[in-house]
Amino acid sequence: MLVSNETVTDRELATLQMNFEMAGNMTMKDLVFYPEVQELTIENTYVRKDHIGIEGNFNKIFEEIAHSYFDAFNAKWAKGWSITNIDPALGMLTGLLKDTTLTPYVQDNWMYGGFSMQADLPTLEYVEQGVTILQ
């Protein structure tokens, strides 16, 4: 922790050490990415150097700070981040690649992902052969 004022710049008050763990999710749907922090914990926080005699439940203090930061992060990205933010022309990909999906929810050590294309639709010839298509 550093402090600055009119007479002092970046003076060290204390040095803390902690274990910070976070779990999150990054899902993509229709080329829009949805990041989300789901869990976080801060444990084993202790003061390594102390120049002013600080005291407190630092696990709780820093966890509250982190929660407020990541709650704001989740709110900011709740509507996602579109690939068109890179270049608006990339929006045409959503017309070519329908139902693009990528999610880290793993089952049997496989990540779920996929897309469909206009070319995947059955052709008129296929329909004329008497094949019933259920939608």
Whether residue 30 has pLDDT greater than 60: yes
Give the up-direction half-sphere exposure of residue 129: CA atoms within 13 A in the CB hemisphere.
7
Range(s) of the domain holding residue 27:
2-119
pLDDT-derived band at 111 (thresholds 50, 70, 90) equals confident
Q: How far apart are CA 49 and CA 109, in angstroms?
A: 44
Number of domains in the chain: 1
- The pLDDT of residue 122 is 63
- How does the average pLDDT of the chain come out, rounded? 84
Q: What is the pTM of this model?
A: 0.67
Q: How many residues does the chain have?
A: 135
Q: How far apart are CA 131 and CA 108, in angstroms?
A: 34
